[in-house]
């Protein structure tokens, strides 16, 4: 029998290993074959709890969405913190042809001494892009002393774990309510399931804004000489007024079932005493209240654009398209990531965007179960109102950092824009009705009847028999057909952004080639290479369906070579990019040298048009 059990366990381990390898292979194949169907890759690190009691553990999760890391990040050695790898899990979701993949690596962190432990920012390469996580903090405190007469003797008790004794108004805190049930209680599992599905908030906290409550996986812990099952409920909350504030728990009464030891009672349904008997003990539980001192935000050195955000954040800004005509919309995407009140986070007014028409932003949140760690993404449409605009002004976001006890302002650099004048159309002419003819006040005299008819004119054929009249009747029909064809082509162009961009790039290229000829003749080397580099960006961006501003020489290795572009095209592209890069340091070239690059550029474009990407 023991040998058979060993074989079964070995088979189960092999099946688990093969399933994990299969998930990894499927994930890799999906990532390689459906790159355009996958969402943008993200990498986040999170802790299931920020505060632990000495002897307890927290779980660190490294989560990769939209791609598989080239290598799993290695956690550094942290003094007095034991790190154990708990394994990985993967998930693949296909929704309406869009693939979403998730890979999670878990580590168990066990502090050996009380104190604060910092997990530094980790880096991972996913899909050729280096992603960085935010640093995390784990606090470990000593277990509360238990009276000598109750060490390991309590059947159940509750306690609160407040991460700090002082906090600022608006700061997000994760307060834990821990319920301990001693081993040996027969219905301990049912009680843990009850708290695991507990709805609402388990705390009573006047002067706080209660956000969300999440549940942590049940665990085991030792208190004194007793072993306990522990259910933990974490509630995110924020003080809304200053001064000392009290946090307490709800009051619950638990019906604990304890096995009856020694002499068993007679049960009519069990006369032979074949089944274990239990007795019920009802215990009222409440946690010792905790007091927190809420502080007001400093009033000095407050940034002008501060709108009440409290936490620790990072800022990322992208915009596109960056080559537009005056009046065309530009979508600005702003991502604010970090820890804080993401639900109440709003974008500050950007006062430097005076030359743009700004529309209200839309937002979405990707956060943890408590809603305090994650990313809030904003999309805002702006429309340039002048052709003199050269850039999208810097985006600023200010917040108060409670860890640094100071205000911080994040600034993203300006984004270059190319705004062309819009085509002018004549204003409609409003015709007003002419005043009626003046009344003829003069009376007409009576004329004499003509005595002679005068010359007789020949009556011509009716209009319906005139060729010119018949041809004139076809004009409206021809106009209707022309309008229908024009409308159909306009709708087709409006519903096909790829075709619209292709035509725009073709027009830009035609204009740019003429400009290159003039610049070469005038020996304007810097402007010549800047225009040449912009034309290459527009052409390659349109062929690869990428933003023009993201095109650099690296696109040859990352996009063209994997797609099988011939070397006869790759080599001239390399030379053109290198010529643009060297132009910053090389002396001014002659007109002949500059003009010689134009046919090479045109030949490369013609060769590239014949390649299917």
Residue 96 pLDDT class (50, 70, 90 cuts): low
Strand 115-119 and strand 129-132: pairing? unpaired
CA distance linking residue 451 with residue 399, whole number of Å: 105
pLDDT of 400 > 90? The answer is yes
Tell me whether residue 485 is in a domain.
no
- pLDDT of res. 24: 52
Are 200 and 238 members of one domain?
Answer: yes
Tell me whether residue 185 is in a domain.
yes
Half-sphere exposure of 37 (CA within 13 A, CB side): 16
SS3 492: helix
Give per-residue pLDDT as tens, 194-209.
Answer: 888 787 888 988 999 8
CA distance linking residue 180 with residue 195, whole number of Å: 11
Tell me whether residue 444 is in a domain.
no
Are 504 and 383 members of one domain?
Answer: no
Are 99 and 184 members of one domain?
Answer: no
20 vs 69, 73, 81, 86, CA distance in Å?
16, 19, 28, 14
Q: What is the mean pLDDT of residues 25-36?
A: 48
Closest CA to 373 of 104, 120, 45, 118: 45
Would you state the torsion angle of the CA atoms of residues 204, 208, 209, 213, taken in this order, to the nearest 10 degrees? Answer: -40
Are 188 and 80 members of one domain?
Answer: no
pLDDT of 575 > 80? The answer is yes
Q: Are 229 and 254 in contact (CB under 8 A)?
A: no
Are 187 and 84 members of one domain?
Answer: no
Q: What is the mean pLDDT of residues 195-224?
A: 86
Token digits of residue 225: 């000489």
Name the DSSP class of 187: T
Domain edge (last residue) among 420, 452, 474: 420
Tell me whether residue 362 is in a domain.
yes
Tell me whether residue 475 is in a domain.
no
Q: Phi/psi of residue 127, each to 5°?
A: 60, 35
Q: Are 257 and 275 in contact (CB under 8 A)?
A: no
Are 150 and 204 members of one domain?
Answer: yes
pLDDT of 262 > 70? The answer is no
Are 219 and 158 members of one domain?
Answer: yes
Are 506 and 550 members of one domain?
Answer: yes
- pLDDT of res. 245: 92
- pLDDT of res. 188: 85
- pLDDT of res. 412: 87
Total number of domains in the chain: 4
Closest CA to 235 of 289, 165, 172: 172
Are 315 and 291 members of one domain?
Answer: no
Query: What length does the chain have?
Result: 613
Give per-residue pLDDT as tens, 417-450.
Answer: 998 887 644 444 444 444 444 444 444 455 556 5
Q: What is the mean pLDDT of residues 13-26?
A: 54
Domain edge (last residue) among 420, 451, 474: 420
CATH number at residue 221: 2.60.40
Give per-residue pLDDT as tens, 537-570.
Answer: 888 888 888 888 778 888 888 888 888 888 888 8
Tell me whether residue 514 is in a domain.
yes
Domain membership of residue 71 as a residue range: 35-112
Residue 23 pLDDT class (50, 70, 90 cuts): low
Closest CA to 207 of 261, 247, 256: 247
Are 198 and 331 members of one domain?
Answer: no
Tell me whether residue 222 is in a domain.
yes
How much is the pTM? 0.49
Give per-residue pLDDT as tens, 337-367.
Answer: 999 988 888 887 887 788 888 888 899 998 8
Domain edge (last residue) among 369, 394, 420: 420
Are 281 and 381 members of one domain?
Answer: no
Are 241 and 360 members of one domain?
Answer: no
Residue owning tokens 């402007």: 527
Q: Phi/psi of residue 4, each to 5°?
A: -65, -40
pLDDT of 535 > 80? The answer is yes
Q: What does the mean pLDDT of the chain come to?
A: 79
Tell me whether residue 132 is in a domain.
no
């Amino acid at each position: 029998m023991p040998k058979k059990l060993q074989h079964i366990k070995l088979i189960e381990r092999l099946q688990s290993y093969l399933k994990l390898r299969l998930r990894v292979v499927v994930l890799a194949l999906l990532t390689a074959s459906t790159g355009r169907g996958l969402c943008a890759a993200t990498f986040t690190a999170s802790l299931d709890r920020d505060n632990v009691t000495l002897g307890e553990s927290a779980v660190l999760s490294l989560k990769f969405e939209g791609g598989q890391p080239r290598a799993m990040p290695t956690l550094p050695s942290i003094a007095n913190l034991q790190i154990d790898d708990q394994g990985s899990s993967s998930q693949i979701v296909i929704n309406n042809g869009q693939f979403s993949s998730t890979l999670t690596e878990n580590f168990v962190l066990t502090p050996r001494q009380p104190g604060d432990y910092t997990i530094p920012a980790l880096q991972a390469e996913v899909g050729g892009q280096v992603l960085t996580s935010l640093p995390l903090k784990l606090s470990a405190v000593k277990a509360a002393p238990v009276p000598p007469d109750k060490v390991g003797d309590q059947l159940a008790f509750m306690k609160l774990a407040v991460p700090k004794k002082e906090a600022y108004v608006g700061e997000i805190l994760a307060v834990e309510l821990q319920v301990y049930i001693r081993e040996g209680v027969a219905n301990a599992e049912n009680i843990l399931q009850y708290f695991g599905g507990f709805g609402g908030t388990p705390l009573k906290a006047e002067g706080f804004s209660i956000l969300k409550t999440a549940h942590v996986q049940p665990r085991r812990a030792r208190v004194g000489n007793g072993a306990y099952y522990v259910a933990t409920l974490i509630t995110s909350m924020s003080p809304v007024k200053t001064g000392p504030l009290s946090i307490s728990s709800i009051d619950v009464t638990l019906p604990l079932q304890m096995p009856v030891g020694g002499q068993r009672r007679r049960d009519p349904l069990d006369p032979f005493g074949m089944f274990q008997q239990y007795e019920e003990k009802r215990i009222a539980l409440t946690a010792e209240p905790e007091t927190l001192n809420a502080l007001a935000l400093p009033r000095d050195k407050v940034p002008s654009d501060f709108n009440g955000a409290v936490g620790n954040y990072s800022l990322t800004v992208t915009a596109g398209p960056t080559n537009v005509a005056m009046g065309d919309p530009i979508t600005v995407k702003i991502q604010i990531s970090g820890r804080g009140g993401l639900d109440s986070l709003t974008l500050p007014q950007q006062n430097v965007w005076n030359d743009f028409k700004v529309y209200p932003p839309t937002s979405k949140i990707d956060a943890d179960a408590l809603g305090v760690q994650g990313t809030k993404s904003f999309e805002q449409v702006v429309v340039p109102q002048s052709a003199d605009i050269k850039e999208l002004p810097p985006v600023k976001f200010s917040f108060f950092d409670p860890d640094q006890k100071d205000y911080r302002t994040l600034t993203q650099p300006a984004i270059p824009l190319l705004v062309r004048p819009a085509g002018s159309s004549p204003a409609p002419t409003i015709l007003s009705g002419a005043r009626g003819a003046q009344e003829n006040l003069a009376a007409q005299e009576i004329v004499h009847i003509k005595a002679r008819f005068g010359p007789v004119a020949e009556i011509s054929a009716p209009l319906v028999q005139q060729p010119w009249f018949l041809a004139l009747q076809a004009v409206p029909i021809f106009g209707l057909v022309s309008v229908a064809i024009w409308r159909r082509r306009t709708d087709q162009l409006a519903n096909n952004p790829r075709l619209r961009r292709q035509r725009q790039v073709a027009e830009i290229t035609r204009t740019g080639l003429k400009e290159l000829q003039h610049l070469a003749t005038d020996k304007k080397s810097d402007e010549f290479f800047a225009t040449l580099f912009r034309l290459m960006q527009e052409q390659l961006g349109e062929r690869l369906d990428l933003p023009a501003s993201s095109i650099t020489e690296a696109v040859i290795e990352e996009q063209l070579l994997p797609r099988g572009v011939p070397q006869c095209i790759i080599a001239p592209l390399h030379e053109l990019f290198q010529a643009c890069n060297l132009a910053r340091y090389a002396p001014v070239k002659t007109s002949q040298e500059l003009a010689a690059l134009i046919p090479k550029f045109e030949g490369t474009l013609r060769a590239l048009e014949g390649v299917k990407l």
